[in-house]
Amino acid sequence: MRLFLDTANIDRIRQGVKWGVVSGVTTNPTLVAQEGKKDYQLLVKEICSIVDGPVSAEVVVEGVDDMTSQARSIAAWHPNVVVKIPATPDGLEVTSKLSREGIKVNMTLCFSANQALLAALAGAAFISPFVGRLDDIGQDGMALVKSIMDIYREYDFDTEVIAASIRHPLHCVAAAQAGADIATIPFDVLEQMIKHPMTGAGNARFLADWHRVVGQSK
């Protein structure tokens, strides 16, 4: 399973790439707004200069014609850009058009296996089931990821599954166990994945013992 960062924060993306574990980025209008960025295009281009992998940028208009036009413009920003299209009837039509043009689509806001099936049939490159938001309303978000993976394997679909709306490290483990192709995660979850109190305590003990031995040998 690959890891993407779900953020528009440049510093955090740089750090994730330095750690050697981040192979893509997903953004959305909310994440961009949180960074106070007004020029979405410049921000996405900067992200593409940092991470050598898919970078999802979302359309922010409605209607088939307007969504299609904006999606084409977004796709032209950089070869690594993937256009995020919502899992709606209009989004399905737009995805079908774009996929025939060779434009990669990440169909987002997926909350059902039916939506995922339609996304694959329409030619979406990625589908993003929102795990955390389903958990929030008392449904099992990770069960949806597993259902989608079972369907995609059965029919050998090329669409990759991005477990999205990840809230904590256990979601990442569950996504990997479900066979998700990708998990897109906030930076704080990435940090939590590597940290463990016993690792910190053990490392501190090893270093203390080493310094004590070195000090005694002088």
Condensed to tens digits (0 to 9), the pLDDT of residues 68-119 reads 999 999 999 999 999 999 999 999 999 999 999 999 999 999 999 999 999 9
- pLDDT at residue 210 in the model: 86
d(CA 218, CA 214): 7
* Among 84, 97, 104, 146, the one annotated catalytic: 84
CB distance 5 to 19 below 8 Å: no
Among 149, 170, 173, which residue's Cα sits nearest to residue 160? 149
Domains of the chain in sequence order: 2-217 (3.20.20.70)
* Least confident range of 21-25, 139-143, 174-178, 211-215: 211-215
Res 197 pLDDT > 80: yes
CB distance 26 to 185 below 8 Å: no
Bridge pairing between strands 126-129 and 105-110 = parallel
Q: Is 195 a catalytic residue?
A: no
Q: Kindly state the average pLDDT of the residues 7-19.
A: 96
Res 215 pLDDT > 90: no
Radius of gyration of the chain (CA): 20
